[in-house]
């Protein structure tokens, strides 16, 4: 792997974090977004991330040096002209990603490997538009990249394995823990495990089997996990949980009572999770963090 120049396309929440993490580890990073206004926002985000990295890693000098490694462009051909690797982090909307790859295919140098950071879409959905399906795969990051270091590497059936190996190595060089997914899987590893756990917890609650604290306590005591499903839901945010479950309810009536419960008992009362100060628990000192929680 001899990547030097990385292009990050889409400089929103995750794109700006991926760009900063990559520059922080010494790569030149070309930031692409749709127009100058979006690029101005990106500059503000990256400046904010400089402070976050300086504080988190206690290294102001290294964080400031990262800021000098960025270039910005709203012209895709220009943004990608030297790219060894392009990481796509544009909105999670099929048409936007499809059109993006169609254009990218016509302007990117032959050497450029394309990686998608999509959370819910599969590389096989876009491979045909890339003009280089063998050099196209997913490289999926988690929000707050600097401390949540997962990098899920997942090809589609037509990805050449050598590029999976290259991305695994690249991920390591930017301080991530590469997690190699051997076969295309919606939700990667994390959400394939987490979503069923969260659903199961909510189903127990909606059926009246137990309250959130008892359900979390059971999971924590029996497995040694630091959080149960309801503590995790508070971090995810109850609006997101509601969106997922209401979608599910369209074809699975069993999900409707969960959606109703989230709406009536929590969202309508302003309890949207950790971000608002209250969800299933009250913050900043939720009961599950009290050492007495697992003793009573
Ligand atoms: P966001 O809305 O914050 O950012 C999207 C960026 O893409 C914006 O800067 C926007 O101007 C830009 N954009 C819009 N159209 C574009 C186009 N045609 N070409 C290039 N750029 C365009 O979104 P986000 O939360 O950063 O998500 C981006 C991707 O990252 C999605 O695929 C999402 O699934 C994935 N992701 C998000 C998270 C998360 O927690 N937010 C976590 C992991 C992965």
Concatenate the DSSP letters of all residues of 101-166 into one string. Answer: HHHHHHHS-TT-EEEE--SS--GGGTGGGSS-GGGEEEEEE-SSTTT--EEEEEE-TTS-HHHHHH
pLDDT at 111: 97
Task: Supply the pTM of this predicted model.
Answer: 0.88
Respond yes or no: is residue 156 known to be catalytic. Answer: no
Nearest CA residue ID for atom 39, ligand 1: 143
Q: Which residues contact 156 (CB under 8 A, 6 or more apart)?
A: 122, 123, 124, 127, 133, 136, 137, 184
Domains, the chain, with CATH or none: 5-181 (3.40.50.720), 192-294 (1.10.1040.10)
Instruction: Tell whether the model's pLDDT for residue 209 goes beyond 80.
Output: yes
Angle between helical axes of 13-24 and 36-57 (0-180°, round to 10): 50
Q: How far is the CA of 14 from the centre of ligand 1 (A)?
A: 6
Q: Which residues contact 245 (CB under 8 A, 6 or more apart)?
A: 199, 202, 255, 258, 259, 262
Q: Which residues contact 59 (CB under 8 A, 6 or more apart)?
A: 53
Q: Counting atoms of ligand 1 from 1, which one is nearest the CA of 118? A: 32
Residue 2 — very low, low, confident or very high, per pLDDT cuts 50/70/90?
A: confident
State the average pLDDT over residues 44-69. 98
Instruction: Quickly count: other Cβ atoms within 10 Å of residue 120's Cβ.
Output: 9
Half-sphere exposure of 41 (CA within 13 A, CB side): 13
Residue 3 — very low, low, confident or very high, per pLDDT cuts 50/70/90?
A: very high
Q: Which residues contact 8 (CB under 8 A, 6 or more apart)?
A: 15, 18, 19, 22, 29, 30, 31, 32, 86, 87, 89
Instruction: Tell whether the model's pLDDT for residue 183 goes beyond 80.
Output: yes
Residue 54 — very low, low, confident or very high, per pLDDT cuts 50/70/90?
A: very high
Distance from the Cα of residue 80 to its chain's centroid:
23
Q: Are 138 and 190 in contact (CB under 8 A)?
A: no
Q: How far is the CA of 296 from the centre of ligand 1 (A)?
A: 44
Nearest CA residue ID for atom 33, ligand 1: 118
Measured distance CA(85)–CA(102) in Å, rounded: 17
Respond yes or no: is residue 143 known to be catalytic. Answer: no
CB within 6 Å of ligand 1 — which residues?
Answer: 9-15, 33-34, 38, 89-92, 96, 100, 117-119, 141, 143
pLDDT in tens, 72-117: 999 999 999 999 999 999 998 999 999 999 999 999 999 999 999 9
Measured distance CA(72)–CA(7) in Å, rounded: 10
Q: Counting atoms of ligand 1 from 1, which one is nearest the CA of 35? A: 11
Residue 244 — very low, low, confident or very high, per pLDDT cuts 50/70/90?
A: confident
Respond yes or no: is residue 152 known to be catalytic. Answer: yes
State the average pLDDT over residues 34-52. 97
pLDDT at 23: 98
Dihedral, 76, 79, 81, 87 alpha carbons, nearest 10:
-90
State the average pLDDT over residues 172-200. 95
Tell me the two tokens of residue 80.
Answer: 């990608």
Q: What is the mean pLDDT of the chain?
A: 96
Residue 38 — very low, low, confident or very high, per pLDDT cuts 50/70/90?
A: very high
Residue 43 — very low, low, confident or very high, per pLDDT cuts 50/70/90?
A: very high
Query: Quick check: helix, strand or coil at residue 182?
Result: coil
pLDDT at 236: 87
Respond yes or no: is residue 192 known to be catalytic. Answer: no
Query: Quick check: helix, strand or coil at residue 273?
Result: strand
Q: Counting atoms of ligand 1 from 1, which one is nearest the CA of 42? A: 9
């Amino acid at each position: 792997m001899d990547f030097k120049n990385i292009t990050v396309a889409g400089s929103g929440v995750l794109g700006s974090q991926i760009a900063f993490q990559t520059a922080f580890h010494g790569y030149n990073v070309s930031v692409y977004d749709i127009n100058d206004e979006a690029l101005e926002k990106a500059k503000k985000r990256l400046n904010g991330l400089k402070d976050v990295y300086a504080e988190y890693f206690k290294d102001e000098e290294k964080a400031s040096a990262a800021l000098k490694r960025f270039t910005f462009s709203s012209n895709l051909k220009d943004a990608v002209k030297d790219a060894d690797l392009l990481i796509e982090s544009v909105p999670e909307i099929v048409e936007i990603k499809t059109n993006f790859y169609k254009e990218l295919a016509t302007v990117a140098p032959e050497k450029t490997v394309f990686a998608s950071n999509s959370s819910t879409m599969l590389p096989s959905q876009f491979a045909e538009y890339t003009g280089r399906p063998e050099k196209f795969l997913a490289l999926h990051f988690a929000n707050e990249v600097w401390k949540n270091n997962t990098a899920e590497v997942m090809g589609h059936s037509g990805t050449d394995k050598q590029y999976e190996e290259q991305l695994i190595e690249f991920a390591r060089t930017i301080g991530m823990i590469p997690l190699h997914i051997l076969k295309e899987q919606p939700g990667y590893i994390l959400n394939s495990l987490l979503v069923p756990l969260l659903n199961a917890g909510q189903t127990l609650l909606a059926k009246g089997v137990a309250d959130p604290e008892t359900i979390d306590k059971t999971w924590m005591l029996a497995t040694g996990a630091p959080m149960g499903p309801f503590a995790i839901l508070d971090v995810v945010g109850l609006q997101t949980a509601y969106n997922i479950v209401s979608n599910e309810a369209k074809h699975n009536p069993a999900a409707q009572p969960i959606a109703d419960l989230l709406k009536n008992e929590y969202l309508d009362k302003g309890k949207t999770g950790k971000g608002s100060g209250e969800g299933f628990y009250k913050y900043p000192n939720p009961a599950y963090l009290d050492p007495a929680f697992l003793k009573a």
